[in-house]
Amino acid sequence: MEKTSAYASAFTMNSSEKQETVCIFGTGDFGRSLALKMLQCGYSIVFGSRNPQKSSLLPNGAEVLSYSEAARKSDIIIIAVHREHYGFLTELTEVLKGKILIDISNNLKINQYPESNAEYLAQLVPSAHVVKAFNTISAWALQSGTLDANRQATAKREDPFSTSTAWLNDSYIALGILGFFLFVLLGITSLPSVSNMVNWREFRFVQSKLGYLTLILCTAHTMVYGGRRFLSPSSLIWYLPSAYIIALIIPCIVLVIKFILILPCIDNTLTRIRQGWERNAKPTLNGERYLKQSSVHMDSEL
């Protein structure tokens, strides 16, 4: 009887916990990933969005409402929007009174603003309780979970001394060693036991910056291996390109597209879009001044 009552009480507690509702402002990558994990843990999720009708790709079981309607359904509100768009919170001062606001944001640069995002949020909504959480993990880590440990890489060994000149041999070996070292580093940081120990800035630097550097080194390694034979018809059997030439097509396309995307005129626009900018969106009263300053600053850079 004691065991049965214990199981019944535990079941009752789990059932009551499933009724708890958490509100998330923002339907971006991090908001969706966090909502999926919380739904799996038994929480009820309601999204607050500026355009509830246009919100898509949301986890099954989540509800999408306007900011004011969503805030009324929960005492815990996760702010998953960028600092530049905090202005709408001042219009919800009465609704957010006494509620817990969780700030998960990170700035693009260190010391970008005189105060932290949480302090700025507390100034906008002084009647709410502001806490900081979830800012050291990424949406990728929430989405992948433990599936990040099963990545494998195949190595194709070729004769490193098949080139015609000495400097090609040295370059071929040096690029191969550096590329392989960075490739191993990327594989190690992809392990869950390692990725959970680094913050999101370190993980982003390794997987993004070092990832492209690895691709450049490995692509150069293959190009040096071919040397002058790339455009030499005599080295082609039945006038068909070799396997290592075909293998360069996708990496070269990726590098060319990446070079185009990092151009300031394109990168600045993409950064604003990732932060929630809309071409015809009407700015809020508090955010209008910042958006004007940002546009002037970007025009000066272009």
User: Structural domains in the chain?
Assistant: 21-137 (3.40.50.720), 164-275 (no CATH)
- Its pTM stands at 0.49
Q: What is the pLDDT of residue 221?
A: 86
C-alpha separations of 79 from 9, 86, 114, 256 in Å? 34, 9, 20, 36
CA distance 19 to 42: 8
Between helix 249-261 and helix 264-274 the angle, nearest 10°, is 80
3-state secondary structure of 130: strand
DSSP class of residue 52 equals G
Angle at 89 between CA 65 and CA 275, to 5 degrees: 80
CB 96 within 8 A of CB 89: yes
Q: What is the pLDDT of residue 125?
A: 92
Q: What is the pLDDT of residue 161?
A: 44
Q: What is the pLDDT of residue 16?
A: 46
CA distance 290 to 293: 5
Q: Which residue has the tokens 């960075």?
A: 182
Q: Which residue has the tokens 């955010």?
A: 287
Q: What is the pLDDT of residue 101?
A: 93
The token pair that represents 36 in the structure block = 């999926």
Q: What is the pLDDT of residue 77?
A: 94
Neighbour count for residue 185 (Cβ, 10 Å):
14
Partnered with residue 45 across adjacent β-strands are 22
Which residues of the chain, if any, have pLDDT below 70?
Answer: 1-19, 145-168, 226-241, 281-302
Report phi then psi at 39, rounded to 5.
Answer: -65, -40
DSSP class of residue 106 equals -
What is the enclosing helix (H) or strand (E) of 272?
A: helix 264-274
